[in-house]
Amino acid sequence: MRVTDTSDRWWRTAFIYNLNVKSFMDWDDDGVGDLEGLSHRIDYLAALGVTCLWLAPFYTSPNKDNGYDVSDFYGIDDRYGHHGDFVEVVRTAHDRGMRVIVDLVVNHTSDQHPWFRSARSSPDSPHRDFYVWRDEIPADAPANVFPDAEDGVWFWDEKAGAYYEHNFYRHQPDLNFANPEVREEIAKVVGFWLEVGVDGFRVDAVPYLIEPGAADEHEYLRLLRGYISRRKGEAMMLGEVNVPRDEQLSFFGGSDADELSMQFDFIGNQRMYLALARQDPAPLVDAIESRPAITTGSQWANFARNHDELTLDQLSDDERDEVFAAFAPEESQRIHGRGITRRLPPMLDGDPRRIRMVYSLIFTLPGAPVLYYGEEIGMGDNADIPGRSAVRTPMQWSDAENGGSSRAARRRLVAEPPSGAYGPEHVNASAQVKDPDSLFSYVRELAALYRRSPEIGWGDYERLETGDAAVLAHRMSGSTGQTVALHNFAPGPTVAELTLPGADEDWRLVDARSGTTHAVDAKGRVSIRMDGYGAEWFRLIGPDSRRL
């Protein structure tokens, strides 16, 4: 019996998998993925080792922003099924030991939401103050999040006779969180989905939810977290917070840790791409080492790609240009002057060693890994589809028509799969599941390693000397043991001259995959041969270790 029960912080060691229902699996042959199709694919995710499913917005929506424009927070887009189908997904996932979190998109609503229709209809509407209105555009208006699409954050509404605020698209009016009634309504929404069975939320656009300039800017996040925790002790909030390092801690709730449970490490993500472009891990190392210290209730989410552009907005102009030059040489592969619209494998010219090295980093750097569907099989983007939608093509299940994602006519699909080298005939789950040398099998192995090594999520990070600047070596240690990971950012083979402080000739370094044992000398040194772009993981086993 352990005195410290950590089950209420399950996210510290979660393997999170994000998918959009419409792009995953179509079970009723209408060309649109649905909840029933997803239920049938939960076993695939369980086999991969996923422990938490993150569902992108599946709510009723005009779908002008991939479902991030919600017109009914309680409704489910008819094309995906109904609440019964949703409960089946949650039940099946829970049965396979997987938790389910859902996107909570409450910074704004769709302009088709009944609240907004009512709000714009009259100054006396009970919903008028649900949104943010001005008679004039304020002098200090910030830039819009989507500069390629919108000029600003204030839009003149003829009907209302006033400007409303929209940090995102103009069809996404911002909710007014200073209004206690809005807070109450959102609490009901959150309470509803918790009761339906979800285990937490991926909270969209968090920095826009707080009230900049208010006496207590973070009050709302704290209230929301408190409410969620009271309703369901184990529920978590994973926040989308792309801000500089020195602002991040405040979103966890400072030393009280009473706001977000997790944050995506956007800085680590961006600096990882800079490191890849330079074939030098230094920028990534700086990023990891500049993370603010967090408490045991909080966690970082490590990721390679997501459903949006690969934003590089936290890099300097020169650094961004380096990454653009390496991974998005064509203007058409860029968006908003700050990001890349491609998936990882095409950016890395399909080099399997390099692709694996990136996922090995995602699973071994301190934190919890998050994958976007299709990453586990190396799906590419469809470069013919402009903007962020290039990475939102149907999951490639097999080499059948439409990649096996749907039996509908191709023109009815939500998006066309890519053709050529990344087409379903070359990249699909069915072939990879059976192939022990596939990327799928590699990622499954990473997931198993991560699961066996809770110190990656819980332990202390320490960088190790290797004598080769292109090799990142780090150790994660905790009460569960020690994991050592080596990543070679350069294309050529090398020998890493590793030094392991605290270890001596009574210790041994065991390859986590092959079981090969490397002797450690009296000074804690050991030499490890590495391939170009190689990634290796080891257990460091001391004389007292009881680990297998």
Residues 6+ apart with CB under 8 A from 409: 31
The reply to whether 65 sits near ligand GLC by the rule CB under 6 A is yes
Print the binding letters for residues 113-152 with ligand GLC: x by CB under 6 A, - otherwise.
----------------------------------------
Residue 538 near residue 526, CB atoms below 8 Å: no
The reply to whether 168 sits near ligand GLC by the rule CB under 6 A is yes
Burial state string for 245-270 with b = 16 or more CB within 10 A and e = fewer than 16: eeebbbbbbeeebbbbbbbbbbbbbb
Q: Which of 74, 93, 91, 71 is nearest to 82 (CA)?
A: 74
Q: Which residue out of 34, 204, 455, 536 is catalytically annotated?
A: 204
Residue 13 near residue 6, CB atoms below 8 Å: no
The reply to whether 375 sits near ligand GLC by the rule CB under 6 A is no
The reply to whether 204 sits near ligand GLC by the rule CB under 6 A is yes
| Closer residue to ligand GLC in complex, CB, 174/455 | 174
Question: Which stretch, 64-72, 245-253, 288-296, 501-509, contacts ligand GLC (CB under 6 A)?
Answer: 64-72
Q: Which residue out of 85, 111, 240, 468 is catalytically annotated?
A: 240
CB atoms within 10 A of CB 178: 13
Question: Which stretch, 63-71, 122-130, 313-321, 532-540, contacts ligand GLC (CB under 6 A)?
Answer: 63-71
| Closer residue to ligand GLC in complex, CB, 208/422 | 208
| Closer residue to ligand GLC in complex, CB, 301/535 | 301
| Closer residue to ligand GLC in complex, CB, 204/319 | 204
Token pair in block for residue 60: 């009723």
| Closer residue to ligand GLC in complex, CB, 116/450 | 116
Token pair in block for residue 321: 């240009």
> What amino acid is encoded at 316 in this protein?
S
Q: Total residues at the site for ligand GLC (CB under 6 A)?
A: 10
Compute the least distance from the CB of residue 65 to ligand GLC, in Å.
5
The reply to whether 105 sits near ligand GLC by the rule CB under 6 A is yes
The reply to whether 68 sits near ligand GLC by the rule CB under 6 A is yes
Question: Which stretch, 60-68, 340-348, 452-460, 484-492, contacts ligand GLC (CB under 6 A)?
Answer: 60-68
Question: Which stretch, 2-10, 61-69, 292-300, 400-408, contacts ligand GLC (CB under 6 A)?
Answer: 61-69
The reply to whether 308 sits near ligand GLC by the rule CB under 6 A is yes
How many angstroms from the chain centroid is the CA of residue 233?
23
| Closer residue to ligand GLC in complex, CB, 20/432 | 20
Compute the least distance from the CB of residue 90 to ligand GLC, in Å.
22
Is 240 designated active site? yes
Phi, psi of 133 (to 5 degrees): -115, 150
Q: Which of 355, 354, 288 is nearest to 489 (CA)?
A: 354
Q: Which of 303, 430, 314, 316 is nearest to 372 (CA)?
A: 303
Question: Tokens 């772009």, residue?
Answer: 533
Q: Virtual CA dihedral for 74, 78, 79, 83, nearest 10 degrees?
A: 60
CA distances from residue 393 to 191, 327, 374, 508 in whole angstroms, order as listed: 32, 20, 9, 46
Compute the least distance from the CB of residue 262 to ligand GLC, in Å.
15
The residues carrying an active-site annotation are 204, 240
Interface residues with ligand GLC (CB under 6 A) are 65-66, 68, 105, 168, 204-205, 240, 307-308
